[in-house]
A and B are shown apart, each in its own frame.
Chain A
C-alpha cells in the first residue's frame, strides 16, 4: 500500500456527514468563500458566520455576573478588554476558562461562540473570561497572541479578586482561537507564566504552511478551505507565511519542543483543512511525553458543531469535551 502525498494530485475529498452536508446547502450562500485579503471587511460584517449573544443572554437570567475590564496589554501596546462572566453567589474560588475567540486571525470578537461556553460554565460552575485581541492584518503577529497572553497574565494575577482558583485556569479556543490558545500555552511554559490546568483546542489553526494532505484534499469545500486559510495566515504573517522563520507563538505547529505543556483536548472534523495538523499536534504532544485527548469526527467540516448544533454528530461531539473538562477541572 502506498500513500500518494503529491500536492499536485490531492486525494478525493472526505465526504461530509449527511446532516452536515445538507446543512451546507442552507448556509453556503450566507458564507461566501474567502478568496482575497480585500474581502476581510465583508467577512467581518457578515454576522451570519458568528452569531453573538446579547447582554441579557450573557447573564443567563442572573446566573452570571457580567463585567468588562480594561487591563494592561503587552508592553507599549493598548489595554486589552476582558469580558468576565462569574457565576453569581459563589463563595469559594472557582475554576476558570480563559477563552480566545476564533475568526481566522482576521475576524470575530470576544462574544463569538460564547453561548455554548456559557452552557459549559453554567453546568460546571466556572468563571468564563473572554479576551478581545487585536486582529490581523491591521495588527500582524505578535499583536494577537501577545494581547491574549497579557490578558491571561492579568487574570492569573487577579485570580483572588475575580474569585478564580489560580490552580485551575485553562485556556480554550476554537479555530484561530485554538491556535492562539496553543500558542499562549507555549508562551506560559517558556516565560514561566501562569500555570495552566489544560488547553482545550477546538479545530485549532496551527500550521501556517497550509500544505497538509487534508488542506489540499478539502480545497474548495466546506468552511475555511485552503484558500481562506492562506489568506488568514498571510494577514497574520505577511511574506513570512510558510517561510523558514515563523515563530511557534504564531504557528504552534512550528514548535520543535512540545514537552512540558498542560494536558490538551483536541477535536477536529475529518473533512476539513485542519484535520492533519491537529492530529499531528496531538501525536507530537504524546511523543514529547505529554497528555492529549484527540477526537476526530467523521465527515465534520470546520466548526461544524457551532454552525450546525442540531446535527447528531454535533450533539455527540459536545459529550467527550464536557467529560474531559469535568476530569481536568475537578478540584
Chain B
C-alpha cells in the first residue's frame, strides 16, 4: 500500500480523473471538487457521492454531508467531520440512475492529512494519592492534563500484583459507560463493587480484587490517545500497598477543625484523620453565614486528602457560620456519613443513621493579629 500513499503525496493537492479534480482544503474543512462546474446545485447529490475509504463495499453508505457550489467548484463538507489520516473517495456518476453499488465510472481518492502534533498530555495525578489503600477501596480518579478520547479507557488501565507483576484481570468495573467529568479530564474508575460486597456472587466467585498485605501497581498506558488523537508523553505508574478492610463510616466526632481569625483570608480547615474521597471533597462541603449567604472561595486538599482547606474569596467577617457537609461524603471505601457501603442488618452498629447533612457551626469573633 505504500506506493499508493506515495502517489497521494505526489498528486496532492490535486487528484485528476477524466476531467475532474478533488482536493482537501484544511482551512475550509471541505473536499473541493473541480471540473464539474456544469452541474446544477440540485443535480449534485444525484451525480456526486463521497465515500469513506479507497475501496467501496457493496451497500456502503455515502458520507453524510452537504454539497454546495461556489463558482464552478463544488464544496463537500462532511456533517460529522473528516477523519485525519484517512482516505475518502469522490465518485462522479455519469449515469445518475446507476445504483451506488454498481460500477462507478469515475472516482478520485482524496487523502486527509494528519496534523502533526507532538505528545503533550500526561496523567497529572491518580486519587487517592496515598500509597496505603484499604482492601475494599471503591474507586480511583485519574486526572489528565488535557481532555482525552473516550470509549476504550479500560484497554489502557491495568492493575498488576507486585513484585511478580502479575496482571489482576477484571479488577475494575469496565462498564459500557465511562464516567468522565464534563471537561473530560477526570475519569472515575470503580473497582468491581460486586467483588467488594459481602455475600454477593462476584465476591464469592472471585474474591476481593485487592488482598491485604500485598503490593500492587496501577498502570496507565502511554498509548491512550488524547482528544487530538495523540498518545501521552509517558506511562503513569502508581504503586500501593493494601491495608485492612475499612467498614466504618467517617465519624465527625473524631475530626478537628481549625478556625481562622477575623479579617484574614486564612483558610478554615477540617482534619478528617483519614483520607477521604477526592471528588466528593469538592462537591459535598459548603460554608454558609448565619444570614444564609454562601461563602465563595477555593478548596485545597492536603495530607493525602485527609485535610480539607477552604480559602475564602474575601476576608472572614465577624459572625456565625456553618460548614454544611452532605452525608454522601465518603471515605476511600465508599462508607458515607450516613451509612456504610454495605450494611450488616444484624449488627446494630451498622444501622444507617439516616442523616442528610452534618452541620458544623463556628464563630469568627477574634480580631486579627495583623
Q: Do A and B come from one complex?
A: no
Chain B contacts to A: CB under 8 angstroms: none
Chain A contacts to B: CB under 8 angstroms: none
